[in-house]
């Protein structure tokens, strides 16, 4: 993935509706913030919310009880398949709060 090809969390926090939203349950938060991929069960459990999208869609990752996105990822399955299969990686996490891109200094 090339820098500048995808939306960043700082842009997403300003314009929260530019990406489809997937919501993980509270139990997934610490893993997502460590850079882990989003597993299907974290998207299908109580507290999670799924927005229908195709495989290969860039999505924002929200968390149960939180106001702002904590990550941006790429779906590895369609949401229909995420619900049907309900195991393995559902979204590849490529940008999350406090990662290198988040902490990058602004260039003037």
At 6, the pLDDT band (50, 70, 90 cuts) reads: low
pLDDT digits (tens, 9 = 90+) for 33-77: 999 999 999 999 999 999 999 999 999 999 999 999 999 999 999
Alpha carbon 13 to its chain's center: 13
Between 49 and 14, residue with greater pLDDT: 49
- The answer to whether residue 105 is domain-embedded is no
Instruction: Check which CATH number belongs to the domain holding 77 and give it.
Output: 3.10.400.20
The answer to the question of residue 102 being in a domain is: no
Mind listing the pLDDT tens digit for each residue in 98-108? 887 877 776 76
Both structure tokens of 47: 């507290």
DSSP for 5-52, please give it.
TS--HHHHHHSTTSS-EEEE-GGGHHHHTTTPPEEHHHHHSTT-B---
Q: Number of structural domains, the chain?
A: 1
Provide the residue range defining the domain that includes 83: 8-96
Residue 7: how many other CB atoms lie within 10 Å: 16
- The total of other beta-carbon atoms located within 10 Å of residue 6's CB is 16
């Amino acid at each position: 993935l090339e820098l500048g090809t995808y939306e960043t969390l700082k842009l997403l926090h300003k314009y929260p509706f530019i990406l489809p939203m997937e919501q993980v349950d509270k139990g997934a938060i610490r893993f997502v913030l460590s850079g882990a991929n989003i597993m299907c069960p974290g998207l299908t459990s109580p507290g999670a919310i799924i927005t229908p999208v195709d495989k290969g869609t860039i999505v924002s990752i929200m968390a149960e009880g939180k106001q702002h996105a904590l990550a941006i990822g790429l779906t590895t399955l369609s949401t229909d398949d995420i619900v049907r299969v309900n195991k393995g990686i559902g979204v590849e996490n490529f940008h999350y709060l406090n990662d290198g891109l988040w902490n990058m200094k602004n260039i003037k």
